[in-house]
Amino acid sequence: MLPLVKTSIPAKELLMPRLEEILYSGYIAQGEAVEEFERKFEQYIGGGNTLSLNSGTAALHIALILAGVKEGDEVISTALTAEPTNTSIKSVGAKIRYADVDIETGNISPDSIEKNINENTKAIIVVDYAGIPVDVKRIKEISEKYGIPVIEDAAHALGAKFNGKKTGNHFPFTIYSFQAIKHLTTIDGGALQILDNDLYEKGKIIRWFGLDKKLSRMDNNITMQGYKYHMNNVNATVGLAQLENIEELVQKYINNGKYLDENLKGVQGVETIKYYPNTEASYWLYTLKVENRDRFIKKMAENGIMASELHKRNDLHTFLNDFNSELPNLDQFYSKMVHLPCGWWVNKEDCDKMISLIKEGW
């Protein structure tokens, strides 16, 4: 079965000597390897400050704190995402106000964001779902108009671009996941890309119990709630090895995604995604809309291809449904949405097989 997702690990001869060196170095906690990973990740992104963390969920939590979200506030978000996007909102005591999606992309609708803004709105979370960039231009305009900060959840979208710049350069806060099956994995981990230097320094203190690592324990004075969210040298060493080949790796996803886009346009029973102007998806998953999704998934499985909607829409979780909002576009999009594999493990022969099967009908 051609899997929908698959972990990419550097070659044994590249990774294992480095891991052995760090494991027996006498220092495996947060140290020089973490610092090096952060600086090299910043170079890859092309801007901002990288706060490395033990998960993308930790990155979301810290972003919400830095954005000033507190108990009783509201955060506008999307229900089409992995659950941590929205469980993080609950972790700061805030309520989730769902905006509807754009029927063409499945991403959060700027018009719906604006309609849902009220006096309790303190932040907006947008998700580049499956690697499809959001409407950056419109969302930035709304953010500036109302003075509400935007947190971009780019867990699926490492290497995706708007106006030639990668995610991480467009909003005050951008989160990444380095969990096992993402474009880049540190086995587990994440990062928060922060544009403001002062907020970055504050983020470093929140990351480590509220302690300032530049000072000794005796000279520290905790003035805010902190957490144990840091990355360690072992995870960072895996990440450093991954970064050496990250452009080539992400490009494999993009090449496969574009090839599928080109060859599935106009096929009966299929709607391909219409991307926003000046954007380039990173295709963590290949997304399309199909008629009779269950039959489509069954036919793919019978022919050795995994296809799935993958994520449960978050408003179906009782804990994550604060306002029971009507989301007609999401209803329609989600009923047809399906994902196909298009990552580094997928070759042209696999793509041609998927295209042929789809053109046959189901």
Which residues lie below 8 Å from residue 2, measured CB to CB, with a gap of 6+? Answer: 304, 305, 306, 341, 345, 346, 350
Active site residues: 182
**Residues 206 and 229: beta-carbon distance below 8 Å:** yes
Rg of the chain's alpha carbons, rounded to an integer? 21
Give which of 346, 252, 276, 264 is closest to 306, Cα–Cα: 346
Cα 110 from Cα 102, distance rounded (Å): 8
4: left (phi over 0), alpha (psi -120 to 50) or beta: alpha
**Residues 287 and 339: beta-carbon distance below 8 Å:** yes
